[in-house]
Amino acid sequence: MEIIIEMQLLFKCPVQNQDFFTASWIVSGRLKQVESLSGQKSLHGRIEAHCPFCEEAHGFSPDELACPFGNSTHI
Ligand SMILES: [Zn+2]
């Protein structure tokens, strides 16, 4: 199941190493909150965003995003 949310997020193209904002991203599969032994919470899952530089989709982990889910920072 894919969840589509209209929200711009900041991604970094792994090919051209450039930042870009896009609302063209989807959560691929499920996001899962994982708590480490030290009590630090993080999200595991996969997000796919359309890259304007490569004209194709890249996969990202939620940890890689500058504005991760669960954070109170909104654009
Ligand atoms: Zn790219």
Q: Is the dihedral of CA 62, 64, 70, 72 positive or negative?
A: negative
Residue 74 has pLDDT above 70, yes or no: no
User: What is the 22 CA–ligand 1 centroid distance (Å)?
Assistant: 12
Residue 4 has pLDDT above 70, yes or no: no
User: What is the 18 CA–ligand 1 centroid distance (Å)?
Assistant: 8
pLDDT, tens only, 14-69: 999 999 999 999 988 888 888 989 998 888 899 999 999 999 999 998 877 765 45
User: What is the 13 CA–ligand 1 centroid distance (Å)?
Assistant: 4
**CA–centroid distance for 65 within its chain:** 5
Question: What is the pLDDT at residue 53?
Answer: 96
| pTM of the predicted structure, to 2 decimals | 0.67
Residue 72 has pLDDT above 60, yes or no: no
CA gap 33, 10 in Å, rounded: 20
